[in-house]
Amino acid sequence: MRIRKWDHLSIKQRLTVSYIIFILLPFCLLSVHSYIQSRTFQKEQTAVNMKQTLSILKNGMEGKLSLVESISQSITYNARLHNFLSEPFENQNGSMDEYFQFINPIVFYSLQYNQVDIRSIKVYMNNYSIPEGFGSFYHDTIVQGRKWYDSFIKSDKRSIWISLPEEGSYDYLQKLVSLEGEFLGVTRVTILKQNLLTTLDESSVDGSGVYVMEAGQHLIYSSEEDFHSSVTEMDSLIDKQFEQNGKLYVQEHINRLAITVGMTKSLPRSLHSYQLLTTAAFITAIILSIFLFYQLLKKTFVKIKGSIRAMDYSIRTGFIEKIPVERNDEIGVISEKFNTLLDQINTLVNDMIKRETVHKDAQLRALQAQINPHFIYNTINLFSAKTELAGLYDVSDAFADFGQMLRYNMNDQSEYVTIQEEINHVINYIQLQKLKYTENLKLDWTCSPQLINRQIIRFILQPVVENSIIHGMAGRKELAISLDVKWNDLGEIVIIITDNGAGVPAERLLELNRFFQRGQDDIHPLLHLGMGTGIALGNINERLRLFYGNQSAIRMESVEGSYTRTEITVPCQKEEEDFSDAKSLNC
């Protein structure tokens, strides 16, 4: 047999376990969840702030690059410059003056008046008749053979940003092409990396650092001296945030330069986090409360156990000793109620002793009173024997039947009898009535074999048969009564008593059935039947309703001058041990 440990725990242990399961654990889980959510929220807020700052830095760098591109385009698409580079240079035709007065200022003023600290602007031209000069115009032969220049010339791109680590600069290259599609050269605008990244030095606030990395995780700038570029999969996390080595990283990618600009910030250590300390303090307070709660329970149950011992002692001493009441709380109330219960038990015990004494006296009187019925039975048997000796056999049988009926009526050992016993009582009554009506009175009865030994309440058939004889024989010489006991579809016992007598008028029949259903104490509708038998039917109806419910009330059906049918329905009761076969008899 499986033993449940919970059933063997004391109330104190159950309360403690329940407190741990339903209060401590949920609050601890809630505290841990709150701590995790707080940490996540703090991390998200930090990331949002870093992204906002990083977006400003990226926009500043993008703005500088856009200014460089704008300056380069203003030079590259200058029509005067296109005409100058596409025509042969002839000094005697004023080409030098044009070179000095109009062409050179295009580059000179763009270089002098800009907001991005451009280092140099150079034009590499393939018109070798134009002399190099002014520090801005060069023949493309000086850059031919360089990898960055050759790859750009061979490509289909009109412009490109390149990084020259050896020079520490970013260069914007743009092809010079005339309106007729003639290639004239290349414009090169150079900006130092330190000038482009100079604004990043002022952006490190609140312990955050800024870094810039080129493709291949090559670090080109960091505001932190101890920054290391061993962050794994940096290129695959562009424009995303990630956490590594206790730091939060947020990055943005600048496509034009193929660089990644990022910010990093150290997250607070868990042991020194305010949220963790708060959570730990909260859990500690709950554990302490469990200890205090347990101590309080322990003191309370010590008092309860003392009261239980006092109750046990009182029971063992015959409910004499009362429990001392020392408290005004629930334990004290229990003690007072137990003392009240002791007083009531003592009172009940005394009453039971008195009633037992009275009952024994009544039994003695009842044994003495049994002498009178036996005297009556013996006297009737004497009359029966005497009339039989005199040859009056019908009178002798009548005395015997009357004796059986009297014995049946005076036997009050049980309220229930079998259907067989109830039918035998009706047969004895019919035999007695034949002294008056002879063979003009007939009884036919049938009973299902499964019902013959079923139990019903006493004295419900004979009064109905008596009522049929009294009212059915009115104005008639013969009367046939049938008694049928069977099942119905609901598994109930149905008893039907039918006679071919005078019948009941329709109005009186309606009044009788209405009375049987209501079960009123008023018997005036029944007294119309005469000779007091109506009172017997009312008694039977009330007994049926009390024992079996309202659905077992008497129901009558009649046609005046033709027949009267009385139907009684009762639930099926238990069957006696002696089982008889199906019964059917005419008498």
Q: Which of 16-25, 88-97, 234-243, 468-477 is predicted least confidently?
A: 234-243
* Beta-bridge partners for 169: 164, 192
Contact 485, 419 (CB under 8 A): yes
Burial classification of residue 483, based on how many CB atoms lie within 10 Å of its CB (0-12 exposed, 13-18 middle, 19 or more buried): buried
- Taking the C-alpha atoms of residue 53 and residue 263, their distance in angstroms, rounded to an integer, is 9
pLDDT: is 392 or 375 the higher one? 392
Does the structure show a pLDDT above 60 at 85? yes
- Taking the C-alpha atoms of residue 166 and residue 224, their distance in angstroms, rounded to an integer, is 23
DSSP assignment of 375-414 equals: HHHHHHHHHHHHHHHTT-HHHHHHHHHHHHHHHHHH--S-
- The average pLDDT across 186-207 equals 78
Does the structure show a pLDDT above 70 at 187? yes
Q: Which CATH number fits domain 438-586: 3.30.450.20, 3.90.950.10, 1.10.1760.20, 3.30.565.10?
A: 3.30.565.10
pLDDT: is 557 or 525 the higher one? 557
pLDDT: is 483 or 395 the higher one? 483
pLDDT at position 462: 87
pLDDT at position 324: 75
- Taking the C-alpha atoms of residue 452 and residue 430, their distance in angstroms, rounded to an integer, is 19
pLDDT: is 488 or 583 the higher one? 488
DSSP assignment of 44-55 equals: HHHHHHHHHHHH
Residue 554: phi and psi, rounded to 5, are -65, 140
Of 165, 191, 176, the residue nearest 124 (C-alpha): 176
- Taking the C-alpha atoms of residue 229 and residue 339, their distance in angstroms, rounded to an integer, is 85
**Bridging pattern class, strands 137-139 and 120-125:** parallel
- Taking the C-alpha atoms of residue 469 and residue 478, their distance in angstroms, rounded to an integer, is 10
- Name the DSSP class of 24: I
Number of continuous H segments (helices) and E segments (strands) in the chain = 16, 18
pLDDT: is 206 or 349 the higher one? 349
Contact 458, 493 (CB under 8 A): no
Structural domain spans, the chain? 77-196, 438-586
pLDDT at position 185: 93
The most confident of 122-126, 385-389, 529-533, by mean pLDDT: 122-126
Q: How far apart are the first and last CA of the chain?
A: 64
Say how many CA atoms lie within 13 Å of 226 toward its Cβ: 3
Domain 77-196: assigned CATH number: 3.30.450
pLDDT at position 443: 92
Q: Which stretch of DSSP H or E encloses residue 487?
A: strand 479-487
- Taking the C-alpha atoms of residue 549 and residue 543, their distance in angstroms, rounded to an integer, is 9
Does the structure show a pLDDT above 60 at 489? yes
11-19 helix and 274-316 helix, angle to the nearest 10 degrees: 160
Amino acid code (one letter) for 227: F
pLDDT at position 227: 63
pLDDT digits (tens, 9 = 90+) for 263-274: 888 876 654 456
Is residue 534 helix, strand or coil? Answer: helix
DSSP strands (E only) in 7-142: 120-125, 137-139
In the chain, what is the greatest distance between 2 CA atoms, to the nearest angstrom? 189
Alpha-helical segments (H) within 7-24: 11-19
Q: Which two tokens stand for residue 156?
A: 């289909």
**Residues sharing a CB contact under 8 Å with residue 21, sequence separation 6 or more, in sequence order:** none
pLDDT digits (tens, 9 = 90+) for 539-559: 888 888 888 887 888 899 999
- The average pLDDT across 57-73 equals 89
Of 345, 303, 344, the residue nearest 324 (C-alpha): 303
**Residues sharing a CB contact under 8 Å with residue 142, sequence separation 6 or more, in sequence order:** 124
pLDDT at position 274: 64
Q: Which two tokens stand for residue 122?
A: 């150079």
- Taking the C-alpha atoms of residue 389 and residue 384, their distance in angstroms, rounded to an integer, is 9
- Taking the C-alpha atoms of residue 498 and residue 465, their distance in angstroms, rounded to an integer, is 9
* Beta-bridge partners for 566: 497, 556
pLDDT at position 341: 80
Contact 492, 465 (CB under 8 A): no
pLDDT at position 237: 46
pLDDT at position 361: 60
Residue 144's pLDDT band (cuts 50, 70, 90): very high
pLDDT digits (tens, 9 = 90+) for 210-255: 888 887 667 888 877 666 544 544 444 445 778 777 788 888 888 8
77-196 and 438-586: same fold? no
Amino acid code (one letter) for 172: Y
Of 534, 536, 565, 570, the residue nearest 553 (C-alpha): 570
- The average pLDDT across 88-112 equals 81
- Taking the C-alpha atoms of residue 57 and residue 205, their distance in angstroms, rounded to an integer, is 13
Q: Which of 304-308, 346-350, 581-585 is predicted least confidently?
A: 581-585
Contact 433, 587 (CB under 8 A): no
pLDDT at position 391: 66
Residue 370's pLDDT band (cuts 50, 70, 90): very low
Does the structure show a pLDDT above 70 at 205? no
- Taking the C-alpha atoms of residue 134 and residue 100, their distance in angstroms, rounded to an integer, is 9
Q: Which two tokens stand for residue 493?
A: 């016992």
pLDDT at position 218: 77
Residue 348's alpha-carbon distances to 341, 354, 490, in angstroms, are: 10, 10, 46
Contact 239, 252 (CB under 8 A): yes
What percent of the chain is predicted at pLDDT more than 90? 14
pLDDT: is 42 or 456 the higher one? 456
Residue 308's alpha-carbon distances to 267, 294, 311, 325, in angstroms, are: 60, 20, 5, 13
Contact 442, 431 (CB under 8 A): no
What mean pLDDT value characterizes the chain? 78
Q: Which stretch of DSSP H or E encloses residue 542?
A: helix 533-548
pTM: predicted TM-score of the whole model, two decimal places: 0.46
